[in-house]
Amino acid sequence: MNIHILGICGTFMGSLALLARQLGHSVTGCDANVYPPMSTQLENAGIRLIEGYAPENLPAADIYIIGNAMSRGNPAVEYILEQNLPFASGPQWLGEHLLRDKWVLAVAGTHGKTTTATMLTKILDYAGMAPGFLIGGVPLDFSESARLGETDFFVIEADEYDTAFFDKRSKFLHYHARTLVLNNLEYDHADIFRDLEAIKAQFQHVIKTLPSSARILYNGDDANIIDVMSRGCWSECEAIDTADHLHAEDVSSDGSHFALVLGDERAEVTWDMSGQHNVLNALHAAAAARHVGVTLDVSAQALSEFGGVKRRMELRGSAAGVSVYDDFAHHPTAIATTLQGAKNKLCVNGGRLIAVLEPRSNTMKMGCHQQTLRAALDLADNIYALQSPGITWKVQQSLGERAHVFDNVQHIIDAIIADRRDGDHVVIMSNGGFEAIHQRLLDALATQG
């Protein structure tokens, strides 16, 4: 099959392209910006890339897969529709051509999808099950974000974001899961969902599509998830982190040590991760792995060797007595849990916790989290934030006098340098590139001697 992908350099679409190529299809793609590292991965896989969406550059194809970043008015989209060419969304094509014949282990939820899916993949791989996977991040234990695998098991990060401009259902409705993890549920994606109830409806829809032999592993302490589950469930259900099911015991204050416990089974985990949220992520991953036959002992061994995910409290470097970390947190709950884990792990022997925030997600830009953002940053000893042109609300007013808000990234770097102390831990939080602030800050610190 000849496949052409519109928006191929996005994380999901690029991973889909790699999987389609591994299946033996001929794959090409186009994007507005063809750039590394995704462009390098694709070209190395023999995938030809085209810059831009000019209709005259579209190659002939058996199917055009249209990414969810595409919208009406895009010249390539308009040409495909006008010529009545066959097209599909990425999740639809993936569900029909790859996942139908797989045992799909899907990880859904507002927070922790990438990390939990990566943990689950690590466990299955460690157990010798050679799973396929598609993860919306860069897992440090693997050389790629997607692979076909050698068995019927396939782990996928199951996003609730909409599928395409012509399919407003959540992506995860296309994945045909037999093992479904529901980590948590909060209001997010304000550009897509009008309110929390609209997101709950999508989660309820996916539950309705599961066979009775499927298993749902859900957060037993999340009121929104419990509400969704109470509306009807026709599959096996297991409430994680509750006494009657898999739960954690003897959790250290920084989350670096805990025990997986289920009845008389107990397995100890000591790892480099931090935070109570990651302990819960590990519980969900171990519970999902148990559904396909992996023992708690094996899960604990795999988790103890877990390398993490790029941009999840990733240490980018240290200079002049200051350590700089990169984290993807962009929702108040994720910000708070990230800082809690960092405080307990990094600052036990002194040192300040410095939070640097770019309110960049569509939900943030729309001001939906104005009222809860200040409390999410409470644990930081010092706060720096960017007031970018796309934000119409006043970041300074939302965060209060304790925060230092600038409209220029260089000014943030200068302010951090001016207030630098030995032992500082700087946690930079954004779901974007943040104008390469991490390396620019490290370079500036290096000049301090």
User: Which run of H or of E encompasses 211?
Assistant: none
Same domain (yes/no): 250, 370: no
Whether residue 192 contacts residue 161, with contact meaning beta carbons closer than 8 Å, is answered with yes
Share of the chain above pLDDT 90, in %: 55
pLDDT band at 449 (very low <50, low <70, confident <90, very high): low
Please give the Cα distance from 359 to 139 (Å, whole number). 24
442 part of a folded domain: yes
Which of 322, 357, 325 has the alpha carbon at shortest distance from 342?
325
Report the C-alpha gap between 305 and 419 in whole angstroms: 37
Co-location of 48 and 131 in the same domain: no
Residues 6+ positions from 126 with CB-CB distance below 8 Å: 298, 301, 302, 305
Mean per-residue pLDDT, 419-432: 88
Task: Give per-residue pLDDT as tens, 378-396.
Answer: 888 898 988 888 788 888 8
Same domain flag for 264 and 115: yes
Are residues 354 and 441 both part of a single domain? yes
- List, for residues 122-132, the tens digit of each pLDDT value: 999 999 999 99
Confidence tier at 365 by pLDDT (50, 70, 90)? low
Is position 309 within any domain?
A: no
Burial 300-330 (b: 16+ CB within 10 A, else e): bbbbeebebbebbbbebbbbbebbbbbbbbb
Q: Does residue 399 fall inside a structural domain?
A: yes
Confidence of residue 184 (pLDDT cuts 50, 70, 90): confident
Average pLDDT rounded to a whole number, residues 65-94: 96
DSSP structure class, residue 253: T
User: CB–CB of 379/343 below 8 Å?
Assistant: yes
Question: What 3-state class would DSSP assign to 190?
Answer: coil
- 102/230 same-domain check: yes
| Average pLDDT of span 1-17 | 92
Spatial neighbors of 358 by CB under 8 A, at least 6 apart, are: 385, 386, 388, 429, 430, 432, 434
Contact by Cβ (8 Å): 348, 252: no
pLDDT in tens, 167-178: 999 899 999 999
Is residue 206 within 8 A of residue 232, CB to CB? The reply is no
Q: Which residue has the higher pLDDT, 35 or 66?
A: 66
80 plus 195 within the same structural domain: no
How confident is the model at residue 392, as a pLDDT?
A: 82
Given a cut of 90, is residue 370 above it in pLDDT? no
Statement to judge: residues 108 and 79 lie in one domain = no
CA–CA distance, 45 with 27 (Å, rounded to integer): 10
Number of domains forming the structure of the chain: 3
Give the pLDDT score at 313: 77
Mean predicted confidence (pLDDT) in 71-84: 96
Look at residue 315 in the predicted model and tell me its pLDDT: 86
**Local confidence band at 113 (pLDDT 50, 70, 90 cut-offs):** confident
**pLDDT score of 216 more than 90:** yes
The pLDDT of residue 350 is 81
DSSP letter at 449? -
pLDDT of residue 431: 79
DSSP-derived 3-state class of residue 224: helix
Average pLDDT of every residue of the chain: 89
Is the same domain home to 228 and 325? no
Over range 249-275, report the average pLDDT.
91
Q: What is the pLDDT of residue 389?
A: 82
CATH number for the domain including 375? 3.90.190.20
pLDDT at site 314: 84
Among the three residues 304, 331, 351, which one is the final residue of a domain in this structure?
304
pLDDT at 66: 97
Is residue 42 very low, low, confident or very high in pLDDT (cuts 50, 70, 90)? Answer: confident
Higher pLDDT, 62 or 343: 62
Is 274:339 a contact under the CB 8 Å cutoff? no
Q: Angle 11-22/90-97 helices, nearest 10 degrees?
A: 30
Q: Is the pLDDT assigned to residue 37 strictly greater than 80?
A: no
**Domain limits for position 104:** 98-304
Average pLDDT over residues 191-210: 89
Range of weakest confidence among 3-12, 93-102, 220-229, 236-245? 236-245
Reported as a single tens digit per residue, the pLDDT across 327-357 is 877 778 788 878 887 888 777 778 899 999 8
Report the CATH number that the domain containing residue 283 is assigned in CATH: 3.40.1190.10
Q: Is the predicted pLDDT of residue 4 greater than 80, yes or no? A: yes
Question: Are residues 259 and 116 part of one domain?
Answer: yes
Helix pair angle (113-126, 296-304), 10° resolution: 110
Answer whether residue 23 is part of any domain: yes
Could you tell me the CATH number of the domain that includes residue 44? 3.40.50.720
What's the confidence (pLDDT) of residue 118?
A: 93
- Region of poorest pLDDT, from 43-52, 216-225, 354-363, 438-447: 354-363
